[in-house]
Structure 1
Amino acid sequence: MTDLRSNYTVGTSPWAVRRAQWRALGLTDEDMAKPKIAIVNSSSQLATCYSHLDDIAAVAKKAIAEAGGIGFEIRTVAPSDFIHSAGGRGGYILSARDLISHDIEAAVEGAQLDGMLTLASCDKTAPGQLMAAARLDLPTVVVGCGYQPCGTFAGRHCDIEDVFLGAGHHAQGRITLDELTGMSENAVAGPGVCAGMGTANSMHIACEALGMALPGSTPVLANSPKMWDDVRAAGSRIVDLVRQDLRPRALLTPEAFENAVTAMLSVSASINSVKHLQAVAEEAQCGVDVYGLYERLADRVPLLAAVRPNGPVPIEEFEAAGGAAGLLWQLRDLLHTEARTVTGRTLGEDLDGRQPADPEVIRPLTRPHGRRPTIVLVRGSLAPATGIVKLAVDEERPPSFTGPAKVYDTPQGALDGLKAGDVRPGQVLVLRGLGPTGTPGMGMASRPVFALDGAGLTGQVAVVTDGQLSGLVNKGIVVGEVSPEAAAGGPLALVRDGDTISVDLTTRRADLLVPDEELAARTPVTAYADGGRGWLSVYRRTVRPLQQGAVTLEEGTTRA
């Protein structure tokens, strides 16, 4: 075994004061010589996503001890889209991803621990933990801590997606308050992340495709016997990983990122996976252009699974059919199977015997649900860098839309305009000022999208925004994460009511059809939030563009 960096020289000041602290915690000198593992726990009582993590941390700590290590539980911020989007114009959501990575760095690097077991739950924990693992390059295993069980309402399946969509319908008078209340009381039946192919489950699967989670461990029902078995296996494995000195940057290679993007495309994953994987690649300093991978692989990777809300299959059936491992087995001819994983083996070796139990749920390459990509990156005069569109699984052909702009600078403004009848069929609703610097922290544009659906305008009104969108579902033609954002001087800042906008998903373009000379005479709209004096102000000053994953890094500096 390699020398442990946590084992200080006996007799020195660091050794003495740490020994005094740890002896008081009940540790012996023998314990202090063992591999020291950070159990990264984003526990919180603010959201069900995290409410079970303390119990998981305890089981993980016991498994680490039985494997010959010593576990130290550390905490991070625990953001939930449904809870923490209320303040800061929604800016605390994406920005908390980077705060997680900094929390981990401060605790693990400051204490000079030897490895990490990270408990991934809601959307931002898995990417934040991967970012920290890549930055610190310490042996790490990511544990997907499961999706929540759902309920029923009025004799129908009901989950958190239905509540989110139902709120948009209620805002437009399509359902009653009693109906919305009943849905909210029955949608969530236990702890865990949203039960669909939203951002959380997408990123858990991405962790497995990257080789950073144990094979066959994602997705998983929270608190199920399988989840507990996976936790124990991960606790045992991280100790061996430290002893073998197998580090993340040996796993987070260009080939691994190509495997992850292939998996995301094949399961119609959340579009948020694009910027999150790019952020991990930036921290790994492996030179990967994740946005370019999504564009290059889009037409090569067929759709093999249609999981709710992208299709009819419940996440439970996807897990039972084989989950991520079954998906990767079907994709193996498109993957770099020589890529190594946290098992110490190759991905190909990990996939041995992982054939899906139900080839209807996870289909083979020869019989996919479709060959047209559902995650489409667009460019054009309105989105010179990129924009992202999520299409429905059953879309027969890529749609297009051309119409006059109706511009709003806040989500609430758009909701008010929709309620007043100012948004009409044939228009393109433009929602700007929600990018990483404009919010700051990247605001959520989903409420107006769901309200459009509630108003019966899905497909009749397109949406273009520099904000982010729920990983659960998008309705109609919605171009999200337009970059450069308005606050950074992107073309969105020049759009005025009545301007013609064209979105063509066949040519994958989003264009502002206004003469260049007219645009040159306009003054950009730049009245966006400054973030105050706290964390969001720090984020605004340090966030990089989306094409760099929106990581926080001072201009002109690089990660060591």
Structure 2
Amino acid sequence: MTELRSNYRPGTSPWAVRRAQWRALGLTDEDMAKPKIAIVNSSSSLATCYSHLDAVARAAKEAVDEAGGLGFEIRTVAPSDFIHSAGGRGGYILSARDLISHDIEAAVEGAQLDGMICLASCDKTAPGQLMAAARINLPTVMAGCGYQACGTYRGRHCDIEDVFLGAGHHAQGRLSLEELTGMSETAVAGPGVCAGMGTANSMHMACEALGMALPGSTPVLAESAKMRDDVRAAASRAVALVHEDLRPRDVLTPPAFENAVTLMLSVSASVNSVKHLQAIAEEAESGIDVYGLYEQLADSVPLLAAVRPNGPHSIEEFDAAGGAACVMRGLGGLLHTSAGTVTGRTLGENLAGAPHPDGRVIRPADKPHGRRPTIVLVRGSLAPATGIVKLAVDEQRETSFTGPARVYEDPHAALDGLREGAVAAGDVLVLRGLGPKGTPGMGMASRPVFALDGAGLTGQVAVVTDGQLSGLVNKGVVVGEVSPEAADGGPLALVRDGDTITVDLTSRRADLLVPDDELARRREELETRTQEPSQAGTAARGWLSVYRRTVRPLQEGAVLSPRTRGAHR
């Protein structure tokens, strides 16, 4: 049997005080000799994403105990985009991903536990949990805890993203308060994450492609019998992983990350998957450039699934058709099937029993929904590192846009400008100061994008921002996560009203058409200011101030570190 780090020599101080604590909890000496498994539960009653997890954690503990382990439930912060974006200019969302990873590290490393099963739910839990697993490199299994059931409104499908978009339409007077209220009452019909190919379902599936979740387990309906069975199987496997000494860094190899990126491209996944996968790669100290992988693979990966709101099919249909495992089987030779997984088998061996694509919801690679990439990385004089554009599966979009800049430092100011007619057809709406440092924590820029749609200006006004956007889909020519961000001295900080900006999706460029000497003059002027740009109203102390001082650029996953990580940097 593997020697357990959690077992101390009898008679020592750590052994004695731990035994005193655990005996008071009703544990026996036999219990205390078993592999000690952390059941990582990001539970909260603030949001439906997490409202079912306490019962899931109890089932996971039962399965750990039945498998010969000793389960200990630990808690982390539980962020929900729709709830926690209210404060800190939205900065508590992305930054909470890193809090999750450090919560886990503190509990698991402090207690010197032996392994983990992580209950993944809303957008930031899966990446935060994987970041911790990669950092502390302790035997770990990820378990996706399911998507929520959604409803109908006036005979039409209605989910949480419809409500988000509807709020933008209401802001422009195109949807009544009565209708928006009715939609909000029916959109969510049960616990779990957003129904659709948003960040949560995308990252649950990425866990499976990385080899860190059991095959065939994503996506899954929350509270379903399959979800419960998958969680119990994952919990049991976590105990076995300790005995086998199979660790995350054995699984999180370069081929595994390429497999994950390939799957994300093939299902038109959330754009947030880019920075999250990069963050996991950074914590694994792998030296992998995930942004580069998205660029390299974009034109060679066919689109095999088109799930709402990016396409016509529901997440329930996608799940029934075979989910992530079916898509990966359809991708065939485009994947590294020899990559290892937490099952102890290769990805190819895991996929041998997966269903074949049905040809409708999930297409085979030779008859895809499309071959145009829907996650497009752009570069240029306005985005020297990168920017990201998300395209809908069937959207017919102009491949280029050129217009004068209308600059705003805050989404609310942009909404006011739109209502007042300051933003007109032909303009490029610039939202800056929303990056990881500028907010700090990264602000959400989707509300002005949806308001443009509500104003009937989709396709007539482009958007360029260093903030983050909805992980589902954006309307019109929208370049998000421009890097370097304005607060980090990126060219976005130099843009002024009236400057010409051009975005070309064919050449994959975003450029600021201002003479170099004028930009140099503006930069000198900016650097002589006594106050840094975009800092009004940011936290002077507290968690967000810590985040701002230590966050790395997006190309390094926006992880927290006083130094650059990764061999590719």
The two structures have a TM-score, normalised by structure 2, of 0.97
After superposition, what is the alpha-carbon deviation per residue over 1:456-482, rounded to whole angstroms, capped at 9, x for unaligned?
Answer: 000000000000011122111100000
Give the CA deviation at 1:558.
8.5
Give the CA deviation at 1:555.
3.0
Contact 1:483 1:546 in 2 (8 A): yes
Give the CA deviation at 1:355.
2.3
Are residues 1:107 and 2:107 paired? yes
Equivalence for 2:158: 158
Equivalence for 2:175: 175
SS of structure 2 residue aligned to 1:48: coil
**1:321-470 map, 5 Å:** 321-356=321-356, 358-396=358-396, 399-470=399-470
Contact 2:318 2:362 in 1 (8 A): yes
Q: Which amino acid aligns with 1:129?
A: Q
Which deviates more from structure 2 when the two are superposed, residues 108-117 or residues 468-477?
468-477
Contact 2:378 2:389 in 1 (8 A): yes
**1:544-555 map, 5 Å:** 544-555=552-563
Contact 1:43 1:78 in 2 (8 A): yes
Q: Which amino acid aligns with 2:222?
A: A
Are residues 1:533 and 2:546 paired? no
Give the CA deviation at 1:392.
1.4
Stretches of 4+ aligned residues off by more than 4 angstroms: 556-559
Q: 1:495 to 1:203 in 2, by over 3 A?
A: same
Give the CA deviation at 1:532.
2.0
Q: Which amino acid aligns with 2:466?
A: D
Contact 1:330 1:355 in 2 (8 A): no
Q: Which amino acid aligns with 1:322?
A: G
Contact 1:374 1:390 in 2 (8 A): yes
User: 2: distance between equivalents of 1:168 and 1:458?
Assistant: 12
Which deviates more from structure 2 when the two are superposed, residues 258-267 or residues 328-337?
328-337
User: 1: distance between equivalents of 2:563 and 2:366?
Assistant: 47
SS of structure 2 residue aligned to 1:92: coil
Contact 1:398 1:506 in 2 (8 A): no
Q: 1:518 to 1:304 in 2, by over 3 A?
A: same
User: 2: distance between equivalents of 1:463 and 1:171?
Assistant: 18
* Unpaired runs of at least 5, structure 2: 527-531
Q: Which amino acid aligns with 1:542?
A: T
Give the CA deviation at 1:556.
6.4
Q: Which amino acid aligns with 2:29?
A: D
Q: Which amino acid aligns with 1:538?
A: V
Equivalence for 2:235: 235
User: 2: distance between equivalents of 1:200 and 1:211?
Assistant: 17
Equivalence for 1:256: 256
Contact 1:531 1:540 in 2 (8 A): no
Give the CA deviation at 1:557.
7.7
How high is the sequence identity, in percent, across the aligned residues?
81
User: 1: distance between equivalents of 2:28 and 2:418?
Assistant: 65
Equivalence for 1:306: 306
Give the paired residue count.
559
User: 2: distance between equivalents of 1:19 and 1:143?
Assistant: 30
Give the CA deviation at 1:288.
0.4
User: 2: distance between equivalents of 1:411 and 1:103?
Assistant: 31
SS of structure 2 residue aligned to 1:368: coil
The CA RMSD measured in Å over matched residues stands at 1.2
User: 2: distance between equivalents of 1:259 and 1:554?
Assistant: 30
SS of structure 2 residue aligned to 1:474: coil
Contact 1:237 1:343 in 2 (8 A): yes
Are residues 1:131 and 2:131 paired? yes
Q: Which amino acid aligns with 1:115?
A: G
Q: Which amino acid aligns with 1:526?
A: P
Contact 2:64 2:70 in 1 (8 A): yes
SS of structure 1 residue aligned to 2:152: strand
SS of structure 2 residue aligned to 1:83: helix
Give the CA deviation at 1:2.
1.5
Contact 1:320 1:357 in 2 (8 A): no
User: 1: distance between equivalents of 2:447 and 2:357?
Assistant: 38
User: 1: distance between equivalents of 2:16 and 2:400?
Assistant: 68
User: 1: distance between equivalents of 2:534 and 2:543?
Assistant: 20
Q: Which amino acid aligns with 2:291?
A: Y
Equivalence for 2:551: 543
Give the CA deviation at 1:332.
1.9
Equivalence for 2:194: 194
* Unpaired runs of at least 5, structure 1: none
**1:451-490 map, 5 Å:** 451-490=451-490
Give the CA deviation at 1:357.
5.8
Give the CA deviation at 1:527.
3.4
Give the CA deviation at 1:440.
0.2
After superposition, what is the alpha-carbon deviation per residue over 1:344-375, rounded to whole angstroms, capped at 9, x for unaligned?
Answer: 00000000021236221111110001111000
User: 1: distance between equivalents of 2:234 and 2:202?
Assistant: 20
User: 1: distance between equivalents of 2:422 and 2:43?
Assistant: 43
User: 1: distance between equivalents of 2:566 and 2:416?
Assistant: 43
**1:219-298 map, 5 Å:** 219-298=219-298
Q: Which amino acid aligns with 2:159?
A: D
Q: Which amino acid aligns with 1:544?
A: R
Give the CA deviation at 1:500.
0.3
SS of structure 2 residue aligned to 1:521: helix
